[in-house]
Amino acid sequence: MYMLDTDTVSFFMKDNPKSVRKNVEKHSSKELCISAITCAELMFGLRRNYSKQLDLWLHEALGNFKIIDFDDNSAAIYGDIRSALEKSGELLDNMDMLIASSALASGAVLVSHNIKHFSRIKGLKLEDWV
């Protein structure tokens, strides 16, 4: 399963770069998901910069992906990630750590253009479709 990070969903919605849409279209909808955290970030972006066109694009994009809930397993993994990163002095944004913990909990490959950023998280499988 592939979990798309917020930046990847944004690239998909904008159809730029085209490689993201091509990669999404290579996979069945059963293979693609987003975290509920990514959904929340996208909804915040919509509310902050509302336009009817953006609303339509976002709801079309969300229809393509299963939304994975943030559960107690994800929460435990988040605790492990945050603790390890704090100890190493390489803390990430909380939302990114939450998304990464969702990917780890669901066994998904996280698809993001922020590979260097997310590579600090031990055991997280990553791909960049840009």
Question: Residue 112 is part of a domain; what is its CATH number?
Answer: 3.40.50.1010
Q: Check residue 30 and give its pLDDT.
A: 92
pLDDT greater than 90 at residue 87: yes
**Residues 92-122 pLDDT 10s:** 999 999 999 999 999 999 999 999 999 999 9
User: In which domain, by residue range, is 10 found?
Assistant: 2-127
Arithmetic mean of pLDDT, 54-81:
91
Neighbours of 53 (CB within 10 A): 7
Q: Which long-range contacts (CB under 8 A, 24 or more apart) does 88-96 make?
A: 88/120, 90/120, 92/117, 92/118, 92/120, 92/121, 95/6, 95/37, 95/41
Helix or strand run (H / E) with residue 32: strand 32-35
How many residues does the structure list for the chain? 130
**Residues 17-63 pLDDT 10s:** 999 999 999 999 899 999 999 999 999 988 898 888 888 888 887 88
How many structural domains is the chain composed of?
1
